[in-house]
Amino acid sequence: MKYKAVMFDLDDTLVVENEAAKQAFSQTCSEAQNLCGVDPLLLFQTLIETCRNLWETSALWPYLKNIGISDWEGMWGVFKGEHENMKRLHSWAPKYRFQSWNLSLEKCGIKDESLAKRLDQIHQQERRKLHRVFPDVIPCLEILKKSCRLCILSNGAPDLQREKMSGAKIDRFFNTLVISGGIGIGKPNPEIFRFALHKMNLSSSESLMVGDNLKTDILGANNAGIPTVWLNREEQDRDDAFIPTYEIKTLEEITRIV
């Protein structure tokens, strides 16, 4: 066996994140059409812009960017944690969600704060119905679990990432979890990768990093001296500034690498 451990990114490597977020927003906007007659596509587009603007102009933005928590995660996350900034996020998130829905409705010509609160609740419920993994995930993890240690190395809020794993029923596979919000360092900072190696008591050559994002997963692991696997499901062109050790189209190919 070439590697003793495989470290996985979580969002859009194992669990479906972007499409699930879009689906939950879309379903909620369709419900808004039923409730008040608003154009669901207009509300959806307005909401995406409003969420991003509120998120990136908040006092917490430097922290959120460093840890890698997205504006769409802010629309349904609880954000429990002992770090002072996580406590601030936990307090601010309900206000952020309400403002995002309320301002979006107003931009679409509807002033109704009670509706904004209801859509917030509907969206959180819809998003939590959509925890799922890609079809190649479970077969891959079942095989790898027999021969090596498995680690999640993810940006994000610890409670939210754990909820995704539990909802998608993959938490049982992982010996180690390293999540940026729990240690105050986010990918691509190589220190989070070194932290994971230290936690597993492994050298960089004994572990493999698998992820879909060249700028965070591959660059960060490369800079920490860890062999990398770029999961390129969409067959995107690769930027020559980010060179993975291996490139694959499906997780089935990892079993041959390991």
Domain edge (last residue) among 103, 127, 151? 127
Residues 32, 81 share a domain: yes
The number of folded domains in the chain is 2
Verify that 146 and 65 share a domain, yes or no: no
Q: Can you give the CATH number for the domain in which 205 is found?
A: 3.40.50.1000
In this structure, the answer to whether residues 231 and 104 fall within a common structural domain is no
Cα separation, 30 vs 23, whole angstroms = 10
**Contact between 254 and 248 (Cβ < 8 Å):** yes
Do residue 243 and residue 158 come from a single domain? Answer: yes
- Which domain covers residue 200, as residue numbers? 5-16+132-257
Q: Is the pTM of this model over 0.85?
A: yes
Is 9 in the same domain as 113?
no
Domain boundary among 62, 95, 127: 127
Convert the pLDDT of each residue in 134-163 to its tens digit: 999 999 999 999 999 999 999 999 999 999
For 221-236, the DSSP string reads HHHTT--EEEE-TT-P
Of the candidates 183, 246, 168, which has an alpha carbon nearest to the alpha carbon of residue 214? 246
**Domain closes at, from 87, 104, 127:** 127
Tokens 């539990």 sit on residue? 166
- H helices of 37-112, in order, are 40-56, 61-67, 71-74, 84-107
Same domain assignment for residues 78 and 103: yes
Per-residue pLDDT of the chain (258 residues; tens, 9 = 90+): 689 999 999 999 999 999 999 999 999 999 999 999 999 999 999 999 999 999 999 999 999 999 999 999 999 999 998 889 999 999 999 999 999 999 999 999 999 999 999 999 999 999 999 999 999 999 999 999 999 999 999 999 999 999 999 999 999 999 999 999 999 999 999 999 999 999 999 999 999 999 999 999 999 999 999 999 999 999 898 888 899 999 999 999 998 899
